A and B are shown apart, each in its own frame.
Chain A
Amino acid sequence: MAAVVTGIGVTAPNGVGIDEYWAATLAGRSGLGPITRFDPGRYRIQVGGEVTDRGDLRVPGRLAVQTDRWSHLGVIAAGLALADATVTPAFLPEYEMAVVTASSSGGTEFGQKEIEKLWSKGPQHVSAYQSIAWFYAATTGQLSIKHGMRGPSGVICSEQAGGLDSLAQARRLIRQGTRLVLGGGTDASLSPYGLVAQMSTGRLSERGEYRPFDPEASGYLPGEGGAIVVVEDLAEALSRGAVPYGVIAGHGATFDVAGREPGLRRAAELALADAGVPASTVDVVFADAVGLPAPDRVEADAIRALFGPHGVPVTAPKTMTGRMYGGGSSLDVVAALLAIRDGAVPPTVGTTTVVPDYELDLVLGQARRLPVRTALILARGWGGFNSALVLTATAANETGTE
């Protein structure tokens, strides 16, 4: 039994929908720019990745009022993913479908507006929907209601590691007999409160740059959005005529403890072992790429230990979107699946040179054409979470190089 991705929905700062996102990403077009959702003038961080709303993709009226922007982006992504998978949930048994999203910050923008009403007008003016809109499980819950998916659902909160962890859980559910799982996730926290919360880690770039592995690395920039994917069993997917993007072949997760060796490398080793493939079969690594010297070195050391110096192409397309936390690692999974589909690895932008002793083969400047059958995705969540996911091609999607 193999869990495969059969549908993809993207809401990213550099494109909504597979085609727009992937064209921009292969071309190295960034979605980062001045923050416009509020006036960031009084904050040290003023650049981020905002999703440009598409007029033809609207959140249904009630959900628009009753949920936060992060859920809006999740609802749109899920609709795109189901359409891409050519699945109509209404025709499937509701207890055989589940939703497992990753969420990092919950509904911060919605919550901020209601807290403002509380202090300025009083408790009677706080929306009843504050009770559900802020909650990190809100996107999972609203998707479950909207699409009639009442199987074993949940939410994963492990910051940037969450997207990978949600797909590990989706695979677990498929193995236990669930027919279809919506996985992945979104995050959106570009309100003053959300931005200040993100700044508290000290990891955001006050220079307004995001250049991981560069000698000038000064932190990362925040982004909003992410990706939702449809996960099914391979045999079931093929029997209904679906063409899978790839297999969720292996996963590993570890947790960092102060004073001990960072666990990122071990997470990758666990994922490769779980997939039953040696490191030598990995064609590309999608890096976590925090963009600060200390965590960049930890990641470079892990990659070099596994693959040798300059041993594997490495990339970080999140340099075009900013870090989107639960949504960010979900979007990396999509980029890896599309790299398998098209035999093309998107570039890392922003970074101009790589710290020499990292000994990384970072894909810089432009996309690199190469057959991709196996991809390793790395993600680290603030607070100590490490996660690694191995994706492999299926016989149905042998990579064609153009």
Chain B
Amino acid sequence: MTTITLDDLRRIMRESAGADESVDLDGDIAAVPFEDLGYDSLALLEMSAVVRQEFDVVVPDGALEHSKTPQDAVDLINQLVAAR
């Protein structure tokens, strides 16, 4: 069983939706809402698609709404992996 780490998520965020120069994805982002990192609903949709390919779990629609944080996302994905 493969779990996801915050660093995995950083990479997926960068690859799937890009990162603006004003945001340091390598910094302390665990508790920063996606919205404040510049990731909108489309970005979260794209991240969910990559997570599905890599971790074989389906993130339910709306589960990663933009007020959530990267740590929330890591916890959710790992719960889904554990429940598989």
Contacts and interface: CB of A to CB of B under 8 A. Distances in A.
Interface of A: 60-66, 124-125, 127-129, 131-132
A66 B38 CA distance: 13
Contacts of A132: 42
Interface in B17-35: 17-21
Contacts, number: 41
A60 B20 contact: yes
Interface string B10-54: 000001111111000000000000000010001101100100110
Contacts of B38: 62
Interface of B: 15-21, 38, 42-43, 45-46, 49, 52-53
Contacts of A63: 18
SS class of chain A's interface: helix, strand, loop or mixed?
helix
A128 B42 CA distance: 6
A127 B63 CA distance: 19
Contact of B49 (A60, A61, A128): A128
A60 B46 CA distance: 18
Contacts of B53: 124-125
Contacts of B19: 61-62
Contacts of A62: 17-20, 38, 43
Contact of A66 (B18, B21, B49, B52): B18
Contacts of A125: 49, 53
Given A124-B52, A124-B53, A125-B53, A61 B18 contact: yes
Contacts of A61: 18-21
Contacts of B43: 62, 66, 128
Given A62-B38, A129-B42, A124 B49 contact: yes
B18 A64 contact: yes
Most chain A CB neighbours (cut-off 10 Å) among B17, B18, B52, B53: B18
A246 B9 CA distance: 51
A60 B21 contact: yes
A63 B18 CA distance: 7
B17 A66 contact: yes
A66 B19 CA distance: 10
Given A60-B20, A64-B18, A66-B18, 16 more contacts: A60-B21, A61-B18, A61-B19, A61-B21, A62-B20, A62-B38, A62-B43, A124-B49, A124-B52, A125-B49, A127-B16, A128-B42, A128-B46, A128-B49, A129-B42, A131-B42
A363 B73 CA distance: 63
A65 B46 CA distance: 11
Contacts of A127: 16, 46, 49
A129 B18 CA distance: 11
A62 B16 CA distance: 9
Q: Which 8 A-B pairs have the closest CB atoms?
A: A65-B18, A128-B46, A62-B18, A61-B18, A128-B45, A61-B19, A60-B20, A61-B20
